[in-house]
């Protein structure tokens, strides 16, 4: 069963509303890394560090510095994030990696990730596209 309070904390983290992750931006193509040309901050907040959904969840659970998280094992980050969010392995794979073909990890806006997390909290299902995208197809 998904952990709605923790999903809501990840949403707040991506929005920059939590003190511990206020300077962490968003990019689904990196767990926790400094901003670079290949890894821009897509949060709209011009942060010096970025993290994906799993990276934000990991930092909220562990509470370590960004520099430490940057060097952590990616499988550990995924596993801790999965448990923090209350996801099955399949749900975690769908949320962390298996985006629809036209959505690219490296260019996914934070707003789309937030909408997906809001649907996950409401329905318990990972749905990257949502109703408005289905109607437009």
pLDDT tens, position by position, 74-128: 999 999 999 999 999 999 999 999 888 888 888 999 999 999 999 999 999 999 9
Question: Mapped to the 3 state alphabet, what secondary structure does the chain carry?
Answer: CCCHHHHHHHHHHHHCCCHHHCCEEECCCCCEEECCCCCCCCCCCCCCEEECHHHHHHHHHHCCCHHHHHCCCHHHHHHHHHHHHCCCHHHHHHHHCCCCCCCCHHHCCHHHHHHHHHHHHHHCCCCCCHHHHHHHC
Q: What distance lies between CA 108 and its chain's CA centroid? A: 10
Count of structural domains within the chain:
1
56-74 residue pLDDT tens:
999 999 999 999 999 999 9
pLDDT attached to residue 135: 41
What is the domain range of residue 23? 4-136
pLDDT at 134: 44
């Amino acid at each position: 069963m998904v952990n709605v309070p923790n999903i809501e904390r990840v949403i707040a983290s991506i929005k920059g509303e939590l003190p511990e992750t206020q300077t962490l931006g968003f990019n689904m193509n990196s767990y926790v890394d400094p901003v670079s040309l290949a890894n821009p901050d897509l949060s709209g907040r011009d942060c010096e560090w970025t993290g994906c959904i799993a990276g934000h969840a990991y930092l909220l659970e562990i509470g370590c510095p960004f520099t430490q998280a940057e060097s952590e094992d990616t499988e550990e980050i995924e596993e801790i994030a999965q448990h923090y969010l209350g996801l099955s392995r399949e749900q975690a794979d769908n949320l962390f990696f298996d985006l629809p073909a036209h959505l690219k990890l490296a260019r996914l806006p934070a707003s789309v990730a937030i909408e997906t997390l809001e649907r996950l909290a409401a329905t318990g299902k990972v749905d990257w596209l949502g109703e408005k995208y289905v109607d437009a197809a």
